[in-house]
């Protein structure tokens, strides 16, 4: 039987700096090489029929890095989005972004908006970039909007439940991630999709992001297929059920 394909795969793309440093190159060269992996993995997910691919590209905390690096990353992002629009359209993929996007430079936001608009009706994989994204920030932003709804009389405090919180996240319609992959070996979430990953399966590989290709994705999906998901109950459900 072919492996079941997760509906939503989320990836913490880590190790660009280490990849470059191991080659005696500057860290930014690792980010450039990592962009190639994004293209390869996005195309493979479209081919496999993955419904959503969320890529952690820049965290809210990454603004703490030296300005030269964050400025380079913003330029790379702008270049990448405009260059890859064609790839997205050719593969009939949708594009979206989550995070505190208002912190991004205006020229990056323009490219993002344009790509979202141009791919909005596409039927295949939703490629979602997490940019200036933090899981705690997302939950705090949701809490603020819920409080506003209560203040305006649109919502009663007693009616607030998990579904209310979920409905106020950046992308309420996203299926929860089934599989979270982290490259470069670190066993932590680094503030990624904290609300949404409560029952995701976790796959960590030592492969650095710029080396990550379709074969590594397939290995992660095979690993996922060996998991037994119980969601707190006693009845085992096959991984991608």
Active site residues: 14, 62
Q: Which of residues 154-213 bind ligand IPE (CB under 6 A)?
A: 184, 186, 188, 190
Nearest-approach distance from CB 130 to ligand IPE, in angstroms: 7
Mask of contacts with ligand IPE, 122-161, x by CB under 6 A? ----------------------------------------
How many residues contact ligand IPE, by CB under 6 A? 17
Closest chain position to ligand IPE (CB): 17
Q: Does 60 bind Mg ion (CB under 5 A)?
A: no
Q: Residue 215: how many CB atoms within 10 A of its CB?
A: 9
Of 80 and 239, which CB lies nearer to ligand IPE in the complex structure? 80
Q: Point out which span in 11-19, 89-97, 158-166, 224-232 binds Mg ion (CB under 5 A).
A: 11-19
Q: For residue 81, which of 61, 57, 46 has the smallest C-alpha distance?
A: 57
In the numeric block, which tokens belong to residue 215? 């074969």
Residue from 14, 43, 44, 178 that binds Mg ion (CB under 5 A)?
A: 14
Q: Does 80 bind ligand IPE (CB under 6 A)?
A: no
**Cα–Cα distance for residue pair 84/104, rounded to 1 Å:** 19
Q: For residue 112, which of 142, 149, 164, 77 has the smallest C-alpha distance?
A: 77
Q: Does 81 bind ligand IPE (CB under 6 A)?
A: no
**Cα–Cα distance for residue pair 59/57, rounded to 1 Å:** 7
Q: Does 57 bind ligand IPE (CB under 6 A)?
A: yes
Is 76 strand, coil or helix?
Answer: helix
Nearest-approach distance from CB 154 to ligand IPE, in angstroms: 35
138: Cβ–Cβ under 8 A, 6 or more apart, which residues?
98, 99, 169, 170, 193, 194, 195
**Cα–Cα distance for residue pair 12/15, rounded to 1 Å:** 10
Beta bridge partners of 95: 127
Binding site for ligand IPE (CB under 6 A): 12-18, 56-59, 62, 73, 184, 186, 188, 190
Question: Could you list the residues that contact Mg ion (CB under 5 A)?
Answer: 14
């Amino acid at each position: 039987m072919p492996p079941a394909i997760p509906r939503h795969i989320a990836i913490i793309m880590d190790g660009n700096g280490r990849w470059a440093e191991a080659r005696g190159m500057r860290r930014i060269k690792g980010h450039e090489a990592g962009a190639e992996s994004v293209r390869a993995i996005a195309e493979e997910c479209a081919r496999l029929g993955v419904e959503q691919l969320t890529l952690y590209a820049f965290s809210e905390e990454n603004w703490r890095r030296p300005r030269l690096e964050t400025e380079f990353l913003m330029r790379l992002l702008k270049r990448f989005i405009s260059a890859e629009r064609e790839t997205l359209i050719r593969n009939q993929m949708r594009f979206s972004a989550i995070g505190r996007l208002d912190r991004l430079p205006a020229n990056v936001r323009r490219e993002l908006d344009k790509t979202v608009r141009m791919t909005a009706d596409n039927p295949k994989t939703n490629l979602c970039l997490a940019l200036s994204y933090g899981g705690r920030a997302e939950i705090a932003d949701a809490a603020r909007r819920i409080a506003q709804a209560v203040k305006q009389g649109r919502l009663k405090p007693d009616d607030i439940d998990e579904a209310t919180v979920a409905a106020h996240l950046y992308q309420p319609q996203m299926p929860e991630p089934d599989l979270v992959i982290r490259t470069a070996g670190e066993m932590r979430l680094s503030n990624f999709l904290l609300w949404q990953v409560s029952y995701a399966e976790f796959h960590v590989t030592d492969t650095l992001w710029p080396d990550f290709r379709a074969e590594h994705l397939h290995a992660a999906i095979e690993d996922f297929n060996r998991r037994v998901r119980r969601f707190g109950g006693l009845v085992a459900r096959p991984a991608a059920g």
